[in-house]
C-alpha cells in the first residue's frame, strides 16, 4: 500500500486548494473525507436507509436525497440525536476512506480530513501535513466565502481544534497566510520529500 499523508487544517485554511494542486501538478491520488461523508448517505445507501428508518420520511427530499438542512437543524438542537448520527456515520466514513486508500496507485496518497485532530484519525496516515493560517485571516476568509458574520465565523473556529493542537501533531506545515501565497513551490518541495520517503518505505 502507498504511503498516506493526512492533510488537515482549520476552516478557510486552503486545504482543498492545496490538495487539488498536488493532484493537478503531480497526479497524486486524493481521498477526501467530505466527499466520502456525502457518498455514505447517497440515495439507496445503507447510511441513508438507516437515517430514514430512524427519523422518518421527512428527512429526505422529494428526489430521495438526504435533507441536510433538516438533519443539521435536528442535531443542532438535540445532543442525543447528534451522537446517534455520529455513531452511525463515523464508522461508515472511516471504512470507506480505508477502502479508497487501499486503491491509491500514486507513489503516495493524500487523505484530506478537515477534522483529523477532532476525530483522532491520525492513525490512518503515515505523516500529517497541516495547512497553517493565522486566526484573523481564517475569520476574514470565512466571512467572505460563506457570507457569515464575524460572530458566526468565530463560533465555527471555536468549535474546531486550535491552531496549536494541529501544529502539535504536524510532520510538515504549509503556510497559507498571504493573499498570493506561493503555494506551488512549497508543494513541489514536499512532493520531492514524499517521493523519497515513499521509496524508503517500499
Report the alpha-carbon distance of residue 40 to residue 43 in Å, rounded: 9
Averaged pLDDT of the chain: 92
For residue 53, the model assigns a pLDDT of: 95
**Is residue 181 very low, low, confident or very high in pLDDT (cuts 50, 70, 90)?**
low
pLDDT at 179 over 70: no
pLDDT at 6 over 90: yes
Name the β-bridge partners of 4.
109
193 is in an annotated binding site: no
198 is in an annotated binding site: no
User: What top-level class would CATH report for the domain 36-100?
Assistant: alpha beta
For residue 200, the model assigns a pLDDT of: 87
Q: For residue 47, give the nearest of 60, 31, 62 by alpha carbon.
A: 60
Report the alpha-carbon distance of residue 91 to residue 108 in Å, rounded: 24
- Between the alpha carbon of residue 174 and those of residues 4, 36, 132, the distances in Å are 17, 24, 6
What are the structural domain ranges in the chain? 1-28+106-202, 36-100
14 is in an annotated binding site: yes
Question: Which architecture does CATH list for 1-28+106-202?
Answer: 3-Layer(aba) Sandwich (3.40)
DSSP H or E stretch at residue 58: none
17 is in an annotated binding site: yes
12 is in an annotated binding site: yes
First CA to last CA across the chain, in angstroms?
A: 9
16 is in an annotated binding site: yes
Q: What is the pLDDT of residues 71-93, one digit of tens each?
A: 988 888 899 999 999 999 999 99
SS3 16: helix
The reply to whether 1-28+106-202 and 36-100 are identical in fold is yes
Amino acid at each position: 500500500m502507498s504511503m498516506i499523508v493526512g492533510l488537515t487544517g482549520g476552516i478557510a485554511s486552503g486545504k482543498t486548494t492545496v490538495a487539488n494542486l498536488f493532484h493537478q501538478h503531480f497526479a497524486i491520488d486524493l481521498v477526501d473525507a467530505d466527499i466520502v461523508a456525502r457518498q455514505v448517505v447517497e440515495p439507496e445507501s445503507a447510511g441513508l436507509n438507516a437515517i430514514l428508518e430512524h427519523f422518518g420520511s421527512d428527512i429526505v427530499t422529494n428526489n430521495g436525497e438526504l435533507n441536510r438542512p433538516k438533519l443539521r437543524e435536528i442535531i443542532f438542537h438535540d445532543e442525543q440525536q447528534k451522537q446517534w448520527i455520529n455513531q452511525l456515520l463515523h464508522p461508515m466514513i472511516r471504512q470507506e476512506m480505508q477502502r479508497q486508500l487501499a486503491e491509491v496507485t500514486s507513489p503516495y496518497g493524500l487523505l484530506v480530513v478537515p477534522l483529523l485532530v477532532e476525530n483522532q484519525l491520525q492513525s490512518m496516515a503515515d505523516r500529517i501535513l497541516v495547512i497553517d493560517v493565522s486566526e484573523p485571516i481564517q475569520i476574514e476568509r470565512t466571512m467572505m466565502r460563506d457570507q457569515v458574520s464575524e460572530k458566526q465565523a468565530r463560533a465555527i473556529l471555536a468549535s474546531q481544534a486550535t491552531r496549536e493542537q494541529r501544529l502539535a501533531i504536524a510532520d510538515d506545515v504549509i503556510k497559507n497566510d498571504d493573499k498570493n501565497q506561493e503555494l506551488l513551490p512549497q508543494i513541489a518541495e514536499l512532493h520531492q520529500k514524499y517521493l523519497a520517503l515513499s521509496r524508503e518505505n517500499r
